[in-house]
């Protein structure tokens, strides 16, 4: 529950900061009605001032429909829009299909028509080539970075500049069925690789499928398995060396 709350809090931070940058980047014509003559009255300044236009921010969002985050996200957006009524409005563009969302986002960003803010995977360099990512370094250095745990911004930093923030960080849990393990002769979850493979064999012998995996382009749960196995084989610094043989060994384990 704490992780979910932290996730949603960060999402609202994204909305507010995006709004802050847009609002700060207003056209100078908005100040054209302000007089530099100290003798002019306040009422004259108000009459001559050009009303600020409402800023509309688009958010292609995957947390919609039946998604577990949908209701809370909608609530936060509604509250934000009410607090900034007439000034800033966040409009959610619903897309509940994760892969379709990724495909559409890559196309729109490549075409130079990026949304105001959006969620992406860890392929920051790809999106950075478009020149459409906002440099968040100054905002983070002003104190915002203190809200993140050590190392949280490493993967979103390129050449010393931060172009994205993580919306959640969490452990990768393994859920298992105690009753099925017991049917295979196991009273506890395996603690080593050797035990894991033996448990898998015992489960198969009992007519039980040991693991559930995803396949295809968006096989993110299998990716989580692979990531954990990779670090277990190559150590915590394995991502700093893309030529480490642990990558191949981990793929063999998953296979």
Across the range 217-234, mean pLDDT stands at 88
Give the count of beta carbons closer than 10 Å to the beta carbon of residue 164. Answer: 22
Within-domain flag for 151: no
Do 35 and 114 belong to one domain?
yes
Q: At residue 225, does pLDDT exceed 50?
A: yes
Within-domain flag for 154: no
pLDDT for position 156: 87
Do 205 and 103 belong to one domain?
no
Do 182 and 104 belong to one domain?
no
pLDDT for position 51: 65
Q: What is the pLDDT of residues 127-177, one digit of tens each?
A: 888 888 889 999 999 999 999 988 889 888 999 999 998 887 778 788 899
Triad 170, 172, 176: Cα angle to 5°:
135
Task: Please give the structure tokens belonging to residue 238.
Answer: 């394995």
Number of domains the chain is built from: 2
Do 87 and 189 belong to one domain?
no
Chain mean pLDDT for the chain: 80
Q: At residue 91, does pLDDT exceed 90?
A: yes
pLDDT for position 50: 67
Do 112 and 26 belong to one domain?
yes
Do 11 and 102 belong to one domain?
yes
For residues 244 and 251, is the Cβ–Cβ distance under 8 A?
A: no
Q: 56: burial class by Cβ within 10 Å (0-12, 13-18, 19+)?
A: exposed
Within-domain flag for 59: yes
Task: Please tell me the distance from the alpha carbon of residue 163 to that of residue 142, in angstroms, as a whole number.
Answer: 15
Within-domain flag for 148: no
Within-domain flag for 243: yes
Q: Where are the alpha helices (DSSP H) in the chain?
A: 2-24, 42-48, 70-83, 98-110, 124-128, 137-141, 178-183, 193-205, 220-234, 246-254
Q: At residue 31, does pLDDT exceed 80?
A: no
Give the count of beta carbons closer than 10 Å to the beta carbon of residue 166. Answer: 15
Q: At residue 194, does pLDDT exceed 80?
A: yes
Pick the residue with more confidence: 35 or 129?
129
Within-domain flag for 208: yes
Q: Which domain holds residue 102?
A: 2-119
Q: Which of 119, 140, 162 is the last residue of a domain?
A: 119
Task: Please tell me the distance from the alpha carbon of residue 252 to that of residue 242, in angstroms, as a whole number.
Answer: 16
Do 110 and 190 belong to one domain?
no
Do 103 and 191 belong to one domain?
no
Do 12 and 113 belong to one domain?
yes
Among 14-18, 166-170, 241-245, the range with the most confident prediction by mean pLDDT is 241-245
C-alpha R_g of the chain: 25
Task: Please tell me the distance from the alpha carbon of residue 113 to that of residue 227, in angstroms, as a whole number.
Answer: 33
Q: Which of 81, 102, 119 is the last residue of a domain?
A: 119
Within-domain flag for 44: yes
Task: Please tell me the distance from the alpha carbon of residue 75 to that of residue 90, in angstroms, as a whole number.
Answer: 12
CA dist 7 → 10, 137, 217, 229 (Å): 5, 20, 25, 26
CA torsion, points 118, 77, 7, 104, in degrees to nearest 10? -20
Across the range 110-120, mean pLDDT stands at 85
Within-domain flag for 162: no
Residue 189: band (very low, low, confident or very high) from pLDDT cuts 50, 70, 90: very high
Strand partners, 89: 56
pLDDT for position 49: 61
């Amino acid at each position: 529950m704490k992780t979910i709350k932290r996730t949603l809090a960060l999402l609202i931070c994204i909305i507010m900061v995006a709004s802050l940058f847009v609002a700060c980047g207003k056209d100078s014509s908005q100040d054209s009605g302000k007089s530099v003559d100290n003798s002019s009255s306040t009422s004259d300044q108000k009459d001559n001032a050009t009303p600020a236009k409402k800023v509309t921010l688009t958010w292609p969002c995957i947390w919609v429909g039946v998604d577990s985050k949908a209701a809370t996200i909608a609530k936060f957006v509604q509250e934000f829009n009410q607090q900034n009524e007439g000034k800033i409005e966040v409009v959610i563009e619903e897309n509940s299909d994760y892969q379709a969302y990724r495909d559409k986002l890559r196309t729109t960003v490549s075409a130079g028509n990026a949304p105001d803010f959006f969620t992406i995977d860890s392929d920051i360099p790809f999106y950075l080539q478009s020149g459409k990512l906002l440099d968040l370094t100054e905002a983070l250095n002003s104190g915002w970075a203190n809200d993140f745990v050590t190392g949280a911004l490493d993967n979103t930093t390129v050449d010393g500049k931060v172009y994205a923030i993580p919306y959640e960080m969490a452990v990768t849990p393994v859920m298992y069925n105690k009753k099925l393990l017991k049917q295979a002769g196991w009273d506890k979850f395996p603690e080593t690789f050797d035990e894991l493979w033996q448990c898998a064999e015992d489960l198969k012998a009992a007519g039980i499928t040991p693991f559930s995996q995803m396949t295809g382009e968006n096989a993110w749960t299998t990716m989580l398995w692979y990531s954990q196995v990779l670090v277990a084989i190559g150590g915590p610094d394995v991502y700093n060396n893309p030529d480490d043989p642990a990558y191949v060994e981990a793929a063999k384990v998953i296979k």
